[in-house]
Structure 1
Amino acid sequence: MSEKPVRVTVCRGCCCGTRRKHPEVDHEWQLQRLRALAASVRTRVEVRTSDCLDACEHSNLLVVHAAGAKPVWLGFVLDDAVLDDLERWLAAGGPARAPLPDALELHRVTPPAQRS
């Protein structure tokens, strides 16, 4: 029986993943880097996209899901430094296996369903 993968869901809807809101970000390259990251770490990681995660104010947004852990919502994923931190965390096991690094904690956002 194989271990369930960590899933990284990347928002690519109206605001995230478009040059309209963040013209300085190469969104396609960012997605390619995430997929390469998933292939390179020891932890099983799957990267998928979503049309909209309903948190446009935090663009670019991604959610890291792992069995036995609450999803971790990360916003303002706009540069290589955030992806570097994400890569190190996933290499260490990600949610339920490794603590969220302080640098990524600064990017944590509240999921839409939990906002008041």
Structure 2
Amino acid sequence: MSRRDRRTGAGSAAASPVTVTVCRGCCCGTQAKHPGVDHAGQYERLRTAVGSAGRVRAVNCLDVCTQSNVVVVGPSSEGRAAGGRPVWLGFVLMDEMIDDIAAWVHAGGPGLADPPGLLDLQLISVSRRVRESLAD
């Protein structure tokens, strides 16, 4: 048993993985706003690349339409304990960004690893109202 397993308990229900929330509402994920982007393909690519290292979910709207496509990378319970907080990314339109998000999840996500590649250029700031509307 690794030190991590002893600390959280192997298979502990209390431990939560890195969660990647992908906006797929009124603007994000639509051909009308971003023609030429394979939104469904990117979502499946992200789910496949993240695999069992985290959880990927789609939500209807994150209310940051001016910066679509929006993705939020939430820390694991271990990352949150280390000070990690959800990181909001905007304009996630290229496959390379999807690959970087998946690599970040595999590296531990917020609180445990810095965002790879050019993801730091995708960081967006959102209002407290918007942040709080995204339930953990």
TM-score by length of 2: 0.76
**Cα distance between partner residues in 1 of 2:45 and 2:117:** 22
Query: Does residue 54 of the first structure (1) align with residue 63 of the second (2)?
Result: yes
Compare relative contact order (CA 8 Å, sep 6+) and give the higher one, 1 or 2: 1
Decide which structure has greater helix share.
2
Structure whose alpha-carbon radius of gyration is higher: 2
Contact persistence 2:101–2:115 (CA under 8 A): no
Partner of 1:36: 48
Contact persistence 1:54–1:112 (CA under 8 A): no
Task: Please tell me the root mean square deviation across aligned C-alpha atoms, in Å.
Answer: 1.7
Structure 1 residue ranges, 4+ long, deviating more than 4 angstroms after superposition: none
**Cα distance between partner residues in 2 of 1:101 and 1:111:** 21
Q: Give the Å deviation of 1:38.
A: 1.8
Q: Give the Å deviation of 1:102.
A: 5.4
Partner of 1:99: 114
Q: 5+ unaligned residues in a row in structure 1: which ranges?
A: none
Q: 5+ unaligned residues in a row in structure 2: which ranges?
A: 1-8, 131-136
Partner of 1:27: 39
Q: Give the Å deviation of 1:23.
A: 0.9
- Three-state SS of the structure 1 residue aligned to 2:21 is strand
Q: Give the Å deviation of 1:32.
A: 0.4
TM-score by length of 1: 0.88
Aligned length: 112
**Cα distance between partner residues in 2 of 1:102 and 1:23:** 25
Partner of 2:25: 13
